[in-house]
Amino acid sequence: MQAGNLVLLLIALGAVFYFFGWRRSYAVSAPLGGVRHLHSLPGYYASLAAVWCVLPALALLAFWLMIDDAVIRTNLMASLPSSIQPQSQVDHELLLNQIRNVAGGALNPAFVPAEVAAAAEQLNAMQAKNQLMLNIAFISIAVLGGVWGWSRVQPRLRARQQVESVMKWLLMASAMVAILTTLGIVLSVLFESIRFFQKVSPVEFLFGLQWSPQIALRPDQVGATGAFGAVPLFAGTLLISFIAMCVAVPVGLMSAIYLAEYAHKNVRAWAKPILEILAGVPTVVYGFFAALTVAPAIRGLGESMGLTVASESALAAGLVMGIMIIPFISSLADDVITAVPRAMRDGSLALGATQSETIKRVVIPAALPGIMGGILLAVSRAIGETMIVVMAAGLAANLTANPLEAVTTITVQIVTLLVGDQEFDSAKTLAAFALGLMLFIVTLALNVIALKIVRKYREQYE
Amino acid sequence: MSNTTEQVRKSLKARYRSEKRFRAFGISAVAFGLLAVVVLFTDIISKGTSAFVETYIQLDIHWDPAELGIDDPTDPEQVNYADYDALIKAALRERFPDVEDRLERRALYQLASSGAGFRLRDQLQENPDLLGTIQTRWILADDDVDMFIKADAEDRQNTRLPEVARPWVEALERDGHTDIQWNASFFSKGDSREPEQAGVWAAVTGSFFTMLVTLALAFPIGVAAAVYLEEFAPKNRYTDFIEVNINNLAAVPSIIFGLLGLAIFINLFGLPRSVPLVGGLVLTLMTLPTIIISARAAIKSVPPSIREAALGMGASRMQMVMHHVLPLAMPGMLTGAIIGMAQALGETAPLLMIGMVAFIVDIPGGPLDASTVLPVQIYLWADSPEASFVALTSAAIMVLLAFLISMNTLAVLLRKRLERRW
């Protein structure tokens, strides 16, 4: 990759200028009687020269890579003879793709009109020229910057302050990545969702009861328009999350209580890390476990009792998801239970309450906000969990509350809609982004509420 | 005796019973959790261990120049393109001369793996003198034969091996002409449609390059962000906003990061699909919150006296951070980074979004080669209909878990060895 090579070259150049800056700082200090007469340590002068070499060149590279494609395209299209000038936007894209394929060698020039072949050659020439110009500009900016930084090395130069302010800006930029990520998520899902809602009305999406995103090729076939009512997906997601919480909340909470209040220190030291192994197991492993072990077992059990169980039942996926969430709830609950002050327990025990009464009447009520926050976080995890449901839950959008039937979830549909070939203007692909938007909004709301509750609670006893 | 005491005494039995019941609930909850761990691991290990070995059949291979169409064994062109499967077919015919029906013959030929011929080619390339000789060779068996041999006597009825082929395999087994050997190709090959030839090495290398990109980006950015937020950021609304952002990103479902990668890196920036570079970028954004949060905790644990001493000796704030706070916080940061990496290594969903689910046979040579990663390979194999892929999937899961366990052990050891208590 060309840009990668340029960056490697830049690192080497930066090292060279670091060395020269170092040398020069010694050289300029020699007549004054040694480095102690410099304003800053030699390393700062050296770093300053390297910074002047590296940063402007990197900025140039980023800017260049951002615009060069568009510039080449505009120039190329303007240079085409009028005979093959495209009439519409679609023709424009088609022609451009054709030219690119010929230029890239994927298409034999003999099979296309002579003008297109000529344009392809021109494109190749333009790209070569572009690369050459980039190389020249990049290297000269790097060298000029480095020389400028090097020439500024003087005993009075406040090099340390300058280098430190650059470093501070870099640190701040790193912290901004978090904001940029959130912004990127919001913009990417929002943008595509708006395009989706231009094709399908939000009312239909939010309240429709039919989900069949596969659009038939010919307009006269069955399901020619597709149906984008997402209620069955929401119901399926909630059903599976509910089953998961039915497993995870009692087990997680009770094991946290037992390990925090009853268990011997040694038992706790062993059992807690073993339970936490469950949190470290990748979700794809749980998916495999759910699909190949738990689902057939449940099916066999159900059939022996005379029930019809779908082989991709919601129960199997929910059960395994619950197991996955156990350590999540138990460690959060453990934190808040151990944070309840000792004096509250002692007071209750001194009044004659048994240990379980103390826990039920004093410790749990005191820890309740924190526990609720933890449960909300766990719910948001269950809703957003993907691999278990992709592997163990179904694809068909059934609107049912029967845990023995197959249901599908939001995340399953996102994966099925986006894996494989896609066209980015069909409602089918865009629907995945609309589902992603729903998922993001719901989990975000749950997280914000949960974090607020947890934080508020923490302040109470600190 | 007062009335209240009487009442309490009467209720005491019920209260003690409820105490016992509560305790039993607690014990059974812990037991359920531990049982889940045990069942999960025994299930995977019992399914997966058989994939680490594979079955070979002993055949007398006649390196017949006529059958191969080779007249000069030193000519690489000829050796490369000769039909080695014909040798195996001839050897099988030789071993079972009674089989004459065309359909039966086809079943007979399928005893050997379709990739077995390539190994014969490699042997001839190494030693051209083999041409014309008759040698006893161990030939890789087809996965149906493999399953049949590995199955218990009563389970053999249920394997996929065709009815007609069973007596042949049993005859081979009786004569000691079948052998179960270490499956070396599992650790050296890429994906394949044939279970007996499929391996995890391509996925492991893909994971390695993806993790390399993730580590190279996430660790420096995460540490820098943590340093800024802990040491330099003024307490104001913008800083609060960044903090809220980081906390929320830590809880955003991973699949959303996949959507981000698809929309921004692939559609907007035009980066190629299915490459470790994009996978690494997506996983970087996903693990950054984890790394920032743990790095901040590590920086917080450095006592203020260290900072004050450095500042008192005339260091600038930046020098104080770089020379004193960061080195002291490094063990904690590394521990957090390893745990974040372990999380990223097991992540599947966002990588499905950016197209790392392609069928990749070749072993990737860099972060810009199309590749798959270990968890995605597990997902792909788990989806395959053939029964032998179940064992293969479990074996790949064992490889993945081995990596995760060693990373987490490393983190624990690091914390124990290097962490300082102030």
Nearest CB to A188 within list B246, B259, B355: B259
Tell which of A118, A140, A157 closes a domain.
A157
Tell me the per-residue pLDDT of B200-221, one tens digit each, with 9 for 90 and over.
Answer: 999 999 999 999 999 999 999 9
Looking at the structure, tell me whether residues A293 and A436 fall in a common domain: yes
- In this prediction the ipTM stands at 0.90
- Nearest alpha carbon to residue A167 among B235, B319, B313, B308: B319
Amino acid A237: pLDDT:
94
Interface contact flag, B37 A277, Cβ < 8 Å: yes
Mean pLDDT of A75-102: 77
Distances (CA, A) of A307 to A184, A293, A299, A316: 48, 19, 9, 15
**Cβ–Cβ < 8 Å for B250, A454:** no
- Give CA–CA dist B139/B91, Å, rounded: 11
For residues A139 and A236, state if they share a domain. Answer: no
Specify the number of domains making up chain A: 2
Token reading at A301: 């059990």
CA-only gyration radius of chain A, Å: 32
Write out the two tokens for A257.
């209580």
Contact state of B29 with A357 under an 8 Å Cβ cutoff: no
Using the predicted structure, report yes or no on whether residue A329 has a pLDDT greater than 90.
yes
Q: What pLDDT sits at residue A220?
A: 56
**Minimum Cα–Cα distance from B317: chain A residue:** A164
Please report the sign of the dihedral spanned by the C-alpha atoms of residue B270, residue B273, residue B276, residue B280: positive
Quote the tokens at residue B375.
Answer: 């968890």
Which has the higher per-residue pLDDT, B157 or A350?
A350
Q: What pLDDT score does A419 carry?
A: 81
Pairing state between β B53-62 and A211-212: unpaired
Contact of A411 with chain B, judged by CB distance below 8 Å, is answered with yes
A126 part of a folded domain: yes
pLDDT for the residue B146: 86
Residue B352: inside a domain, yes or no?
yes
Residues A239 and A376 in one domain: yes
CA pair distance A232, A240, nearest whole angstrom: 12
Q: For B87-101, write each residue's pLDDT tens digit.
A: 888 888 888 888 888
Chain A closest-CA separation from residue B29 CA (Å): 5
Q: Are residues A231 and A151 in the same domain?
A: no
Mark which residues 92-121 of B lie under 8 Å from A by CB: none
Nearest to A410 by CA among A426, A377, A433, A444: A433
pLDDT band at residue B299, thresholds of 50, 70 and 90?
A: very high
CB contact under 8 A, B408 and A283: no
Lowest mean pLDDT segment, chosen from A67-81, A313-327, B179-193, B253-267: A67-81
CA–CA dist A182, B6 (Å, integer): 64
Of B124, B153, B181, at which residue does a domain stop? B181
pLDDT of A246 reads 96
The reply to whether A136 and A231 lie within a common domain is: no
**Which CATH number does the domain housing residue B307 bear?**
1.10.3720.10
Would the CB atoms of B44 and A188 count as touching at under 8 Å?
no
For residue A125, the model assigns a pLDDT of: 87
Question: What CA–CA distances, in Å, run from A147 to A18, A20, A45, A436, B364?
Answer: 11, 9, 13, 50, 40
DSSP structure class, residue B240:
H
Chain B residues inside the 8 Å CB shell of A292: 47, 382, 390
**From the CA of B110, how many Å to the nearest CA of chain A?**
28
d(CA B210, CA B282): 10
Q: Which of B16, B29, B349 has the CB atom closest to A386's CB atom?
A: B349
Mean pLDDT, range B387-395, rounded to an integer: 89
B408 within domain boundaries: yes
Compute the distance between CA of residue B391 and CA of residue A35 in angstroms, rounded to an integer: 68
Optimal mutation site among B275, B282, B348, B405, interface A, most CBs of chain A within 10 A: B348
> Do residues A236 and A382 share a domain?
yes
pLDDT of amino acid A4? 80
Chain B residues whose CB is inside 8 A of the A283 CB are 346, 348-349
- The single-letter DSSP state of residue B271 is P
Chain B neighbours among A 119-178 (CB < 8 Å)? 160, 164, 167-168, 170-172, 174-178
* pLDDT over 70, % of chain A: 95
For residue B86, being part of any structural domain is answered with yes
Q: How far is the C-alpha of B243 from the C-alpha of A453, rounded, in Å?
A: 16
- Helices marked H in A152-227 — which ranges? 159-199, 202-207
Domain membership flag for residue B101: yes
Judged by DSSP in three states, A41 sits in coil
Tokens of A20: 């020269």
Residue B268, domain extent: 201-418
On whether both B237 and B298 belong to a single domain, the answer is yes
Cα separation, B268 vs B251, in Å, equals 25
| CA dist., res. B374 & res. B355, Å (int) | 14
Is B285 an interface residue toward A (CB < 8 Å)? Answer: yes
- Say yes or no to pLDDT of A412 above 70: yes
C-beta atoms of B346 and A168 within 8 A: no
B318–A164: do the CB atoms touch at under 8 Å? yes
Residues B285 and B353 in one domain: yes
Is the Cβ pair A289, B382 closer than 8 Å?
no
In angstroms, the CA A219 to CA B130 distance is 64
Q: What pLDDT, on a 0 to 100 scale, did the predictor assign at position A218?
A: 57
Residue B112 pairs in a beta bridge with B141
Bridge partners for B141 per DSSP: B112
> Which one of A177, A319, A379, A416 makes the best mutation probe of the B interface by having the most chain B beta carbons within 10 Å?
A177
Residue A212 bridge partners (DSSP): A227
Predicted local confidence at residue A424, as pLDDT: 63
Tell me: do B93 and B231 sit in the same domain.
Answer: no
Within 8 A by CB and 6+ apart from A3, the residues are A61, A65
Both B338 and B406 in a single domain? Answer: yes
Q: Is residue B137 a contact partner of residue B61, using CB atoms and an 8 Å limit?
A: yes
Q: How far is A360 from chain B (nearest CA, A)?
A: 10
Decide if A208 contacts A228 (C-beta within 8 A).
yes
Separation of alpha carbons A301 and A317, rounded Å? 16
**Between chains, do A171 and B224 touch, taking CB under 8 Å as contact?**
yes
Domain of A384 in residue numbering reads as 227-461
Domain-embedded: residue A215: no
Give A190's strand partners: none
Residue A232 CA to residue A209 CA, distance in Å, equals 6
Q: Find residues 374-393 of chain B whose CB sits inside 8 Å of chain A.
A: 375-376, 378-379, 382-383, 390, 393
> Cα dist. B106→B116, B162, B171 in Å?
16, 11, 18
Contact B37 A275 (CB under 8 A): yes
The domain boundary, picked from A157, A172, A206, lies at A157
Q: Does A449 share its domain with A307?
A: yes
Contact B33 A251 (CB under 8 A): yes
Rounded Cα distance, B172 and B154, in Å: 19
Do the domain assignments include residue A185?
no
Same domain, B222 and B157: no
DSSP per position, A191-210: HHHHHHHHHS-HHHHHH---
At B329, list the tokens. Answer: 């916080």
State the best of A64, A160, A176, A182 to mutate against chain B, taking most chain B CBs within 10 Å.
Answer: A182
Of A283, A436, A448, the CB nearest to B259: A436
Given this model, what pLDDT does residue B101 score?
83
- Among A157, A176, A197, give the residue marking a domain's end: A157
Q: What is the Cα–Cα distance from A191 to A436, expressed in whole angstroms?
A: 12
Report the residue from B30, B224, B242 with minimal CB separation from A170.
B224
**Most confident option among A58-62, A208-212, A226-230, B72-76:** A58-62
Angle at B164 between CA B161 and CA B170, to 5 degrees: 70
Same domain (yes/no): B277, B393: yes
Burial class (CB in 10 A: 0-12, 13-18, 19+), B41: middle
DSSP A449: H
Q: Is B22 an 8 Å CB contact of chain A? A: yes
A441 interfaces chain B, CB cutoff of 8 Å:
no
State the SS3 of B294-334: HHHHHHHCCCHHHHHHHHHCCCCHHHHHHHHHHHHHHHHHH
A151 lies in the same domain as A241: no
> What radius of gyration, in Å, describes the C-alpha atoms of chain B?
31
B/e letters for B84-113, b = 16+ CB within 10 Å, e = fewer, are bbebbbbbbeebbeebeeeebeebbbbbbb
The answer, yes or no, to whether residue A286 has pLDDT greater than 60, is: yes
The shortest C-alpha distance from B410 to chain A (Å) reads 14
What single-letter DSSP state applies at residue A20? H
Q: Do A387 and B353 touch (CB under 8 A)?
A: no
Task: Please indicate, yes or no, whether residues B226 and B375 belong to a single structural domain of this protein.
Answer: yes
Predicted pLDDT at A330: 93
Binding-face residues of A in 188-217 toward B, CB within 8 A: 188-189, 191-192
Strands A211-212 and B178-182: unpaired
In this structure, the answer to whether residues B92 and B225 fall within a common structural domain is no
CB B22 to CB A356 under 8 A?
yes
Whether A150 and A292 share a structural domain: no
The verdict on residue B41 lying in a domain is: no
- Residues 50-69 in A contacting B (C-alpha not used; CB under 8 Å): 69
For chain A, what percent of residues have pLDDT higher than 90? Answer: 47
CA angle (B394 as vertex; B389, B400 as ends), nearest 5: 125
Pair B76, B158 in one domain: yes
Which CATH number fits the domain that encloses residue A343?
1.10.3720.10
Q: What is the pLDDT of residue A451?
A: 81
Contact residues, B window 180-219, toward A, CB-based 8 Å cutoff: none
pLDDT at B102: 83
Half-sphere CA count of A294, side-chain side, radius 13 A:
28
Mean pLDDT score of chain A: 87
Interchain proximity A386–B254, CB inside 8 Å: yes
Tokens describing residue B300: 């917080």
pLDDT at site A382: 94
A131-139 average pLDDT score: 90
Q: Are residues B251 and B157 in the same domain?
A: no
- What's the total number of domains in chain B? 2
Structure confidence at residue A420 as a pLDDT band (50, 70, 90): low
- Residue reference for tokens 């889940």: B36
In B, minimum Cα distance to A186 occurs at: B260
DSSP tag of A36: G
Q: Span A48-55, mean pLDDT?
A: 92
Task: Say if the Cβ atoms of B400 and A285 lie within 8 Å.
Answer: yes
pLDDT tens per residue, range A204-242: 888 888 888 776 555 555 555 678 888 999 999 999 999
In this complex, is the C-beta atom of B412 within 8 Å of any C-beta atom belonging to chain A? no
Condensed to tens digits (0 to 9), the pLDDT of residues B154-180 reads 778 778 888 888 888 888 888 888 888
- Selected residue of A174, A259, A410 to mutate for chain B interface (largest B Cβ count, 10 A): A174
Same domain, B342 and B212: yes
For A387, which of B228, B348, B368 is closest by C-beta distance? Answer: B348
Round to whole Å and give the CA distance between B319 and A146.
Answer: 24
Quick check: is A165 in a domain?
no
Asked if residue B209 and residue B102 are part of one domain, the reply reads no
Give the pLDDT score at B360: 81
CA atoms within 13 A on the CB side of B90: 16
Is pLDDT of B270 > 70? Answer: yes
- Taking an 8 Å cut-off on Cβ atoms, the answer to whether A171 and B352 are in contact is no
Helix (H) or strand (E) holding A309: none
Q: Residue A462: is its pLDDT beyond 80? A: no
Q: Tokens 């091996």 sit at which residue? A: B161
Chains A, B: CB contacts within 8 A come to: 256
Contact B221 A177 (CB under 8 A): yes
Kindly state whether residue B44 falls inside one of the protein's structural domains. Answer: no
Which token pair is A129?
A: 């020229």
Compute the distance between CA of residue A209 and CA of residue A196 in angstroms, rounded to an integer.
18
The alpha carbon of A311 is separated from its chain's Cα centroid by a whole number of angstroms, namely: 31
